[in-house]
Amino acid sequence: MTEKALGLYWWSIMWKSDLELCELVLEIVARQLAEGQKRLKVDHMIAWYEWHELKTKQELMIASRLKRIFEEILANYSTLMDPHHRYLEILYWSALGAGVVEEKHMTTLYEIIHKEPDFPSMPWLAERAKSAWPTLVNMLQSDNQEVAHLAAIILLKISRGSIRDEHKRIKEAWVGDKYWAFAQDKGDVWRPRYIE
């Protein structure tokens, strides 16, 4: 399916969650990687799928493929051309929503984007990923400071797009010495967000 045809299909289903569409987007990304393309195109529609809490067999297969592709892009990101990190971020929100992001991924992602004050962006994707906040709260407790810092900034983005109850619960999870340390770290590019 061409990019134009994919766009037409997207408008035909509007905001409907479609697992087959996720599979199609991943197929296109996998093909780009296999062909050695240096400027990837990843449609944001992949991040709109609402995963079931208990994944179906098909969801498990597609989530596994999403994880492999996300890992491959993280491992080879320095060879790609994407100065705004847009497509990496789309895949990150997708993987986060699918529940396949691990601490090792957060560490690699931090190394790639820790100098980007605008990361994360895309608040409409943050709203879809709010179901992943318990995972991020756990990562906030990590002994790995890179993981904890990135989890904190992602939680900030999610909380701003969440309903009041979610916002309150996340805020409560931030209280403590670690979050205070983030706010005091003048070398942290995201510091202004912590102390807003």
Q: Which residue, 53, 51, 45, is CA-closest to 25?
A: 45
Q: Is residue 108 part of a domain?
A: no
Token couple for 125: 């994707």
Last residue within a domain, chosen from 101, 121, 149: 101
Peptide bond just before 83 cis, omega within 30 deg = no
Both 95 and 136 in one domain: the answer is: no
Least confident of 5-14, 57-66, 137-146: 5-14
Higher pLDDT, 107 or 115: 107
Q: Is residue 106 part of a domain?
A: no
Last residue within a domain, chosen from 101, 123, 141: 101
Cα atoms in the Cβ-side hemisphere of radius 13 Å centred on 121: 11
Give me the pLDDT at residue 12, please. Answer: 47
Higher pLDDT, 60 or 4: 60
Both 144 and 90 in one domain: the answer is: no
Give the integer Cα–Cα distance in Å for 5 and 127. Answer: 27
Reported as a single tens digit per residue, the pLDDT across 20-57 is 888 999 999 999 999 998 888 888 888 888 888 889 99
Give me the pLDDT at residue 124, please. Answer: 77
Q: Is residue 173 part of a domain?
A: yes
Both 39 and 88 in one domain: the answer is: yes
Give the integer Cα–Cα distance in Å for 27 and 135. Answer: 27
* Residue 120 near residue 157 (C-beta atoms within 8 A): yes
Both 90 and 156 in one domain: the answer is: no
Reported confidence tier of residue 65, pLDDT bands at 50, 70, 90 = very high
- Structural domain harbouring 151: 113-196
Both 132 and 65 in one domain: the answer is: no
| Number of domain units in the chain | 2
Q: Which residue, 157, 33, 134, is CA-closest to 87?
A: 33
This prediction has a pTM of 0.82
Reported confidence tier of residue 62, pLDDT bands at 50, 70, 90 = very high
* Residue 116 near residue 122 (C-beta atoms within 8 A): no
Angle between helices 145-160 and 103-113 (to 10 degrees): 80
Give me the pLDDT at residue 196, please. Answer: 66
Q: Is residue 92 part of a domain?
A: yes
Give me the pLDDT at residue 79, please. Answer: 86
Reported as a single tens digit per residue, the pLDDT across 151-186 is 888 888 876 655 555 556 656 666 566 777 777 888
* Length of the chain as a residue count: 196
Instruction: Look over the chain and give the mean of its residue pLDDT values, rounded to a whole number.
Output: 81
Q: Is residue 21 part of a domain?
A: yes
